[in-house]
């Protein structure tokens, strides 16, 4: 998998967001082991300290837990995953509305555009 990082957002935050998305998308389930820090750092082409910082923040947020000798595991249940999914989707929707408002669209125009887009799918 190739990860592309934006220049304007710290890499560790992007790693956090990608891992959260992977969790809500079902790539990782409650109890699944996450890749080792060094392995993920090598895959991403980043410093292991960057991955460690991302994992530490995920742990602080209660999404993963550390097992001293065996690595990190997803620690949230399905209810919490649904809440996380709702938070992430809400932020995507808010960003979409903000971008379309910058183009001069009001909320009704945006809703109509979304409905029209969905019909074409």
Say if 3 falls within a structural domain: no
Evaluate if residue 120 carries a pLDDT over 60: yes
CA distance 48 to 105: 43
Both 20 and 65 in one domain: the answer is yes
Say if 4 falls within a structural domain: no
The predicted pLDDT at position 59 comes to 94
| Cβ proximity of 78 and 30 under 8 Å | yes
At 47-103, the pLDDT tens digits run 999 999 999 999 999 999 998 888 999 988 888 888 999 999 999 999 999 999 999
Residues contacting residue 34 through CB under 8 Å, at least 6 positions apart: 19, 28, 40, 55, 64, 71, 72, 73, 74
Both 62 and 92 in one domain: the answer is no
The predicted pLDDT at position 2 comes to 61
Both 98 and 58 in one domain: the answer is no
CA dihedral 13, 15, 19, 22 (to 10 degrees): 110
**Host H or E run for residue 118:** helix 107-120
The predicted pLDDT at position 91 comes to 93
The predicted pLDDT at position 1 comes to 53
């Amino acid at each position: 998998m190739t990860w592309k990082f934006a220049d304007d957002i710290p890499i560790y935050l992007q790693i956090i967001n990608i891992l959260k998305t992977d969790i809500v998308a079902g790539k990782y389930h409650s109890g699944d082991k996450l890749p080792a820090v060094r392995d993920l750092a090598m895959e991403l082409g980043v410093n292991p300290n960057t991955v460690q910082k991302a994992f530490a923040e995920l742990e602080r947020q209660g999404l993963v837990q550390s097992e001293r000798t065996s690595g990190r595991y997803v620690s949230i249940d399905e209810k919490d995953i649904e809440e996380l999914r709702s938070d992430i989707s809400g932020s995507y929707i808010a960003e979409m509305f903000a971008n379309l408002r910058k183009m001069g669209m009001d909320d009704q125009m945006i809703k109509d555009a979304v409905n029209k887009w969905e019909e074409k799918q």
